[in-house]
Amino acid sequence: MKKRVLILLIVLISGPVTIHAQKILTLKECYDHAIASNALASEKKSYSDISRLKDENLVKGWLPILDANGSFIYNSSVIDMSGVLGGLPIPGIASAIKPLPHEQYKITVDINQVIYDGGAIKGARELEKADLNVNQKQTETDLYKIREQINSFYFNLLLLARQKDLLNNYLEIIKKKIGSIQSGIINGVILKSDEDVLTSEKIKIEQQLAENEIRRISFIKILSDLTSDQIDSSTEFVQPLVPGLLSDEISRPELQLFELRKEQLAAGIKVIDSKRMPKAFGFATLGYGNPPGSNFFKNEFAPYYLVGAGAKWNIFDWNKSRNERKIISYQQTIIENRKNDLTDNLKRLLISKNSEILSLKTLIETDNELITLRKRITATAESQYQNGTITATEYLNELNSERQAVINYEIHKINLALSGIEYVNISGKEIQ
């Protein structure tokens, strides 16, 4: 019985905790979910499958090529030796040698085998591998841009959550203040207009809270769509930490893509060079025909075969290969210039973003001083209002100034985190 009671207590205690457990979502998780669920994510596997099939076909270039052929030929004029041999003093020789047939029939299986291709297949495989790396890195580059969209909605949700907390806090202050002046109004010590001023402020805050909730629901819906994750309205969004040491080293996927494109062009040069190399091949023909093979004096169907080997070498291509190498050299120069231009732009962005971070840190330091000062002013104003030396409107002005100082402080903190994350993304690093 005691065990049953203990189990029941555990269930009753743990049950509500499980039901009301709040989901926590980080920016890194949003990145990962958005990239994994994006339509472009499947491209990497598709490129890999395409490359594998192309490589299999290239390797098969070393296998023999088999072609089946068949033909029928009719010759209007053929060699007839009877007229020439008839003048020889050999009885019956003219009738013994029959004229060649006008018709020729043959069915063959032709076999061609590469013996040496000058590195053409190897070069083509290396080029295909370089193409795969470029295509996959291009996909990574396109997916990397999703981070900017995620940042926009994620940090807006952080701002809205903090704004909601602050609005609720000030709403409670206003409600308590309205409740505290009720007896004063009844006794005629406090004017009814003071209650109206506070009530109008309460309505204004409630409107801001309603607007906050509408925007929050909208942003959650968009973020859910971007990440393909059902984000609950009670989800808590964790504010990322600003990296303590910001490195100016750049490793963006776009820069890596430029390097891979240069490797792709270098692989293309090897393919061009292979075209000028000598080629060796073997061949064989298995046939059945009439006349069989080159035996034109045999007027009947019979099998035959022939085998051989050959070589070819393009000793002069009118500088075609040299021009193709020049073209690739120009393309490599263009890529290098674009890479340098992008690097310079990214460095300028890092300098600008670092200045923004330093500026926000300075603002946050002064925000703390300002909030302390505004709280003292508000406390003085509240005392003056209770003593009847200032109006409710004047008191609310000081209270709103304090609230705005706190809001600015929270905005600056969240913007500092956003700037730090943007700095990391500009440099191409991964956030923790």
Residues 6+ apart with CB under 8 A from 187: none
Q: Residue 291: which of 428, 425, 144, 102 has the closest Cα?
A: 102
Count other Cβ atoms within 10 Å, centred on residue 108. Answer: 19
Look-up of token digits 């209650």 = 195
Q: Report the C-alpha gap between 346 and 144 in whole angstroms.
A: 15
pLDDT of residue 9: 37
Counting residues of the chain whose pLDDT is more than 90, the rounded percentage is 69
Name the phi and psi angles at 111, rounded to 5: -120, 125
pTM (two decimals): 0.82
At 161, the amino acid letter reads: A
Of 134, 139, 350, nearest in space to 258 by CA:
134
Q: What pLDDT was estimated at residue 84?
A: 56
Residue 148 tokens, joined? 């900017």
pLDDT score of 194 = 80
How many whole angstroms from its chain centre is CA 270?
Answer: 30
Long-range contacts of 363-369 (CB under 8 A, 24+ apart): 363/408, 363/412, 364/409, 364/412, 364/413, 364/416, 367/405, 367/408, 367/409, 367/412, 368/409
> Residue 184's pLDDT is what?
67
Q: Which fold has domain 27-75+100-427?
A: Outer membrane efflux proteins (OEP) (1.20.1600)
Residue 87: C-alpha distances to residues 77, 83, 301 (Å): 22, 7, 31
pLDDT digits (tens, 9 = 90+) for 319-328: 999 999 999 9
pLDDT at residue 5 in the model:
39
Q: Which pLDDT tens digit goes with each residue over 222-260?
A: 999 999 988 988 899 999 887 777 888 999 999 999 999
Residues of the chain with pLDDT under 70: 1-22, 80-99, 183-191
